[in-house]
Structure 1
């Protein structure tokens, strides 16, 4: 993997990536009201893209504020993007697509795949939940699973997209717990697994080390448990 790509976990399911050409990409930017996001990272000054897995408040987060401030593109499923434009997102910034579709940008693409969960925004149906496959130059691929439980399509996603990195929810209660998440990752079979969507509030206070232990028992996938706000990925 010769591509230079930087990645930061911002707590819960939120990520910041800086692409090889310098595009600043946020995924599920739930920051200001996220108790696990460091104060220094709650304000976003620059962004080129926001990618959304689904409409729940702890994923859409600060999207509208960031979009208005930075002029970034906001990318997500058709129904959710429609609801966001109703709330003031500029049509020029909206990028709506659907499952199985791929949208291509300067030096990366995003493919939308299924997630087995629910989705709403502001009390309204926000389309199906999704996972997002981010493909960068030199075929470096990151799969953000969104909020999901285990389902058999994951094996196909592993075969089709061959992701190097999988970002997997482990918190339980609202998503998979550590054991189910470990088996889900084993189905995808990436090089590296990163546990997410845990520790934010008491109901999802799962132990990432349990996830790591289970996964290491059933596969040879490496597990990285990153510190919130610290760089965990740099392919320079």
Structure 2
């Protein structure tokens, strides 16, 4: 797919994206303690914006350390944002929003959409889990589903947001497995689907090749299975 947006999968649910103007975006930066993240990505220092789907430690990850080091903005659901402030996030870096709401940046916007999952941070309730819909100006829409199972709102998201790229959790146990994830691709009809949230820990047994096989039955999405640290989008 031809796009000016660059994207790397960093293992588990973590992504690094670069907008057409060079804005560096990290999603769910579970990096330094992630056994699948390559060493060169574990301690980033070129971050403009962090986006979080929910409060679990394997998603918030290194957010506070990165924010302190880089001064980046951190965008999160209201309750999670307040908890991060209590744990040291500077007020000037904090951007909170809630489901259905969007935050506009220079060359993209991000909308918090639904996800069927729980959310807590350091033992405290962190609001509801969500997915992130990034719409880049005059370019693609990138949908990070967060941690979730299948749900019928996805058909509405297809109509409203028309996502080109979808990051789909399919590791099973804590999220849906390969078949449910593949049916999500049928509902969303993206150009590209990327399996995530698998293989990090032994309990996450979902097989990305099985996901690819199911997806080929249900949709025309091009399934990309990058290695952790591999760029899969853009030049």
What TM-score does the superposition give when structure 2 sets the normalisation length? 0.98
Question: CA–CA distance in 2 between the matches of 1:223 and 1:2?
Answer: 16
Shift of 1:3: 4.4
Q: Indicate conservation of the 8 Å contact 1:2/1:138, yes or no.
A: no
- Whole-angstrom CA distance in 2 between matches of 1:124 and 1:157: 30
SS of equivalent residue, structure 1 residue 109: strand
Residue 74 of structure 1 aligns with which residue? Answer: 74
Task: Give CA deviations for 1:5-48 in whole Å, capped at 9, x if unaligned.
Answer: 11000000000001111111000000000000011210111100
Aligned mates of 1:103, 1:66 — CA distance in 2 = 21
Relative to 1, partners in 2 of residues 1:9 and 1:162: Cα closer, same or farther, differing over 3 Å? same
- 1:100 matched residue in structure 2: 100
Confirm whether residue 30 of structure 1 aligns to residue 30 of structure 2. yes
Displacement of 1:139 in angstroms is 3.8
Question: Is 1:48 the counterpart of 2:40 in the alignment?
Answer: no
Structure 1 residue 214 displacement after superposition: 0.6
Hey, what does 1:64 align to over in structure 2?
A: 64
Look up the match of 2:109: 109
Determine the C-alpha separation between the residues in 1 that align with 2:121 and 2:151. Answer: 24
Aligned to 1:212: 212
Distance 2:46 2:64 in 1: 14
- Corresponding residue for 2:183? 183
Distance in 2, matches of 1:146 and 1:56, equals 11
**Structure 1 match to 2:19:** 19
Give how far 1:205 is off: 2.5
Decide whether the 8 Å contact of 2:185 with 2:219 is kept in 1. Answer: no
Residues matched between the structures, number: 235
Contact 1:3 1:138 in 2 (8 A): no
- Kept after mapping to 2: 8 A contact 1:178/1:207: yes
Instruction: Give the Cα–Cα distance (whole angstroms) in 2 for the partners of residues 72 and 154 of structure 1.
Output: 31
Aligned partner of residue 204 in structure 1, secondary structure:
coil
* Structure 1 position 153 matched with structure 2 position 150: no
Task: State the TM-score, normalized to the length of structure 1.
Answer: 0.98
* Secondary structure, aligned partner of 2:199: coil
- SS of match in other structure, 1:203: coil
Aligned equivalents of 2:103, 2:168: Cα separation in 1: 22
Gaps of 5+ in 2: none
**Cα pair 2:71 2:93 within 8 Å, conserved:** yes
Rounded to whole Å, the distance in 1 between the matches of 2:170 and 2:135 is 23
> Can you give the 5+ residue segments of structure 1 that lack an aligned partner in the other structure?
none
